[in-house]
Amino acid sequence: MSEPKLPKLLIVDDDEDLRTQMKWALAQDYEVFLAEDRQSTMRVINKEQPAVVTLDLGLPPFPAGVEEGFETLSNILTNNSRTKIIIITGRNEKEHALRAIGIGAYDLFYKPVQIDELKVVLHRAFYLSQLEHEQNQLQKLLGDGSFEGILGTSQQMQEIFTTVRKVATTNVSVLIVGESGTGKELVANAIHKRSPRKDGPFVVINCSAIPETLLESELFGHEKGAFTSAHIQRKGRFEAAQGGTLFLDEIGELPSLLQVKLLRFLQEQQIERVGGREQIYIDARVLAATNKDLKEAMREGQFREDLYYRLGVVTISLPPLQERKEDIPLLANVFLKRYTNENNKRVKGFTHQAMSALVSHTWPGNVRELENRVKRAVIMAEGAKITPEDLEIGTPYEKYEGFNLKEARESLERELVLQALSTTNSNITRAAENLGISRPTLYELMEKLGIEKR
């Protein structure tokens, strides 16, 4: 049985002794290649395609300057923009660091190099490279990763796509639940497009966007003279959806009187216009969505239990974006491509810091917020790559600014323990399982961090 291949690392430095020392220190974990100038670097790059490169800025024929190093950096990224390049330099001028990161360097170290610190950064760089490679392979397999316009290659989204395929061919009512911005209307549209009704209309109404006094007429239509301003007969959204699908967004805001009329339609497939007596048969499928907890609304008497079970023959729950973080790079890059084309901008991608900030952000506005931030960043960006400043998102390490390593580690441990206790209602066994540690270890952590047992 053959040994697993080690990941490829290229070390570029004009100091032969340093190259040899680094190779000796790293050869156990990586297949190490060496180069001393731009020409030998590009030969290795073209032949071996290493995922990660350490690069000295002072290279011959001008080792006292930095331009040859920056030229090499640009050449490597032109060959493969996903290569993770870690600058290792003896020059500590801030403008050189900013310039390198702006061009696309992954990270930067100053000489003398602390090998243990470098190992940590290398491990992270190779891990990110592997994730990007897997994402790229998935995109090739799935096109742009979309399903009827919905983006996502995560396990959660694949399960949702499977459910959509199953329910689309039936005529059952479907309730789609999820936070604002998670794509509930996209899922409803996907069900319609995959259904036998796909050639019929897809009619959308937001139950919270229309005043209660007008909503009944908007849904069911009205007869001439039904009220003061009813000068003509008018058909409502139910009739407009004849032969197709009616999507009721924010169904949790539907007033009690209209809940009764909707329930009657679901039972009998018939409606009456406001001010009318004629029973009108409607062949339309109803899909509904909400970001409210309808079970809580039922307990409070705000939503009918019989209507809830009629609407939710099948319920599809959409996860918030922070629960499917592996989809964020895919979503961000799709939005980047969309808005660079739309605004005729030459932005090539995201800096490492920007992508880390995107993945670490909590996204209270979900996919809609991500799209809006990327759109704004494309418009505001001045460099070749989008930065955290363009996105108006701080880096994930910003909150630890001014902390030493011990303080930062304890702060992070506290956050994770408190979050695990909160999501499990202080169930120690489940919290320990979620953290991947034993109960005694969790108790020790809580005592060390001063977290009281509840």
- The pLDDT-based confidence of 441 (bands split at 50, 70, 90) is confident
pLDDT greater at residue 422 or residue 138:
422
Angle at 360 between CA 358 and CA 365, to 5 degrees: 65
Decide: helix, strand or coil at residue 87.
strand
Per-residue pLDDT, averaged over 317-342, amounts to 90
In one-letter notation, the amino acid at residue 1 is M
4-37 pLDDT, tens digit per residue, is: 689 999 999 998 998 999 999 999 999 999 999 9
250-308 pLDDT, tens digit per residue, is: 999 999 999 999 999 999 999 888 877 889 999 999 999 999 999 999 999 999 999 99
For 266-272, which contacts have Cβ atoms below 8 Å and span 24 or more sequence positions?
A: 266/173, 266/307, 266/310, 266/311, 267/310, 271/220, 271/221, 271/236, 271/238, 271/239, 272/220
Q: Which residues contact 263 (CB under 8 A, 6 or more apart)?
A: 304, 306, 307, 310
At residue 234, does pLDDT exceed 90?
Answer: no
33: β partners = 10
pLDDT greater at residue 229 or residue 197:
197
Portion of the chain with pLDDT greater than 70, in percent? 91
65-98 pLDDT, tens digit per residue, is: 889 999 999 899 888 878 999 998 877 666 777 7
Strand 285-290 versus strand 174-177 pairing type: parallel
- Nearest residue to 56 via CA among 41, 77, 43, 45: 41
At residue 136, does pLDDT exceed 70?
Answer: no
* Ordered domains of the chain (ranges, CATH): 8-140 (3.40.50.2300), 150-317 (3.40.50.300), 322-396 (1.10.8.60), 403-449 (1.10.10)
Whole-model pTM: value is: 0.61
Per-residue pLDDT at 1: 43
Per-residue pLDDT, averaged over 361-367, amounts to 90
Structure tokens at 422: 């909160």
For the chain, the average pLDDT equals: 86
